[in-house]
Structure 1
Amino acid sequence: MLLNLVISGLVIVLTAPALLDQIPVLSGSLSVSIYLTDLILMMVLLALLLFVHEFLHLALIPGFIWSQKNYAGLTFAGPFVATGEVLTRRRFVMISVTPFIVLSFLLPLIAGAAGMLSPLLSIIVLLNALGASVDMLSMFLVLTQVPPGSRVVCNGMNTYWKAHN
């Protein structure tokens, strides 16, 4: 979790250093104002972030449109995507890491280079980095426990693998 936050934070700071001037604590004073319109905008952007994050997972599942083994839903913990498809280890890793790379690395990199990285977008990027921590943990576990070339399948909260011959 901390590593994701540090990576995204470094990208934000390196591509848009002027954002540091907008952090009240660093300027010597602390004043926080929360406006209803900002709060509503933040909620809408967060919902959009969750949708895009999960769609990036789903779009990388082979045959995601036609498969009867793909599921998307909403729980109290948030939206989720699940598949019962048999995936290669490489595909599982790619599916796991893509939302972090796209939304918490490439998005601030491109927006910062274009001068469009706002404090609100930075917060959204950092929230995605925190949320992608579970994806990164899954990726780490598969990379360290599943042999290269193996096939991976998820069944509920359990993930199984079989060596491919």
Structure 2
Amino acid sequence: MKIRFSIPKADHEYEQELKQNNWTPLKEPQSIGKATLISIPFMIVNLVICLAVIIMVDGLSWHEFGFTEEGFRFTLSLSHIVWFFAMIIIHELIHLVFVPNFLKSNKTYLGITLQAGFILTEDMISKSRFLIVSFAPFILISIILPIILSWFGLLTPLLKVLIIINGVSSSVDFLNSFMIMRQVPKGGSIINNGFRTYWKAA
């Protein structure tokens, strides 16, 4: 595993090699901005799921989010910012631990940029494992975690907000998974060249 502070670019020679070896380019957005825009429907769905889980296990009120009879009141503290960045790091680390052999791999990257954090592996990975890697942070943080915290009475308003933010920010993961499920046949394999994705049937 390597740490990067920039988004890796595709290697054009490697791209030709992949195509010669019958790897098919995935039809996908070519920038983070486009991917985020296209993923808005998944943001809405994820938001509804997060709210439903929190309401079922602990309840939810407008007052918890700063809305009162006197208006909206919200105080942003340093601890809130720390918690927010901690959640981003945890989200990416969960992706990472589900990547096969991530500790030994020289082609798996933990990325930290001004735009976002990311996990990228250029090792070959199965379709099923790709889906597990993609869905893991949403399932663990936005579904399982609120249930556990509620059992122990630890589901605070701040944690509810962070859980919801995690769910909404998982929309690009869901978009990627949707494209993989639609385009890659069962048993297929996936490989990345930078952020460009290629697949091959079993």
Displacement after TM superposition at 1:82 (Å)? 0.7
Displacement after TM superposition at 1:107 (Å)? 0.7
Which residue, 154, 158, 163 being the options, matches 1:116? 154
| Whole-angstrom distance in 1 between the partners of 2:74 and 2:125 | 48
Match of 1:155 in 2: 193
RMSD, aligned α-carbons: 1.5
2:103 matches 1:65: yes
Alignment of 1:15-164 (within 5 A): 15-17=57-59, 19-20=60-61, 22-23=63-64, 24-25=66-67, 28-34=69-75, 39-164=77-202
| Whole-angstrom distance in 2 between the partners of 1:61 and 1:33 | 38
Displacement after TM superposition at 1:114 (Å)? 2.4
Percent identity over the alignment is: 34
| Whole-angstrom distance in 2 between the partners of 1:6 and 1:106 | 15
Number of positions where the alignment pairs a residue of Structure 1 with one of Structure 2: 159
* Residue segments in structure 2 that go unaligned for 5+ positions in a row: 1-42
SS for the counterpart of 1:98 is helix
| Whole-angstrom distance in 2 between the partners of 1:33 and 1:52 | 25
| Whole-angstrom distance in 1 between the partners of 2:102 and 2:187 | 22
Displacement after TM superposition at 1:33 (Å)? 4.1
Deviations 1:38-85 (A, max 9, x none): 521111111111111101111111110011011112112121111101
- Please identify runs of 4+ aligned residues in structure 1 that moved more than 3 A: none
Structure with more helix by fraction: 1
* Residue segments in structure 1 that go unaligned for 5+ positions in a row: none
2:50 matches 1:12: no
Displacement after TM superposition at 1:28 (Å)? 4.1
TM-score, normalisation: structure 2: 0.74
In the superposition, relative to structure 1, how do residues 30 and 146 fare at CA in structure 2: closer, same or farther (>3 Å)?
A: same
Relative contact order: is structure 1 or structure 2 higher (C-alpha 8 Å, sep ≥ 6)? 2
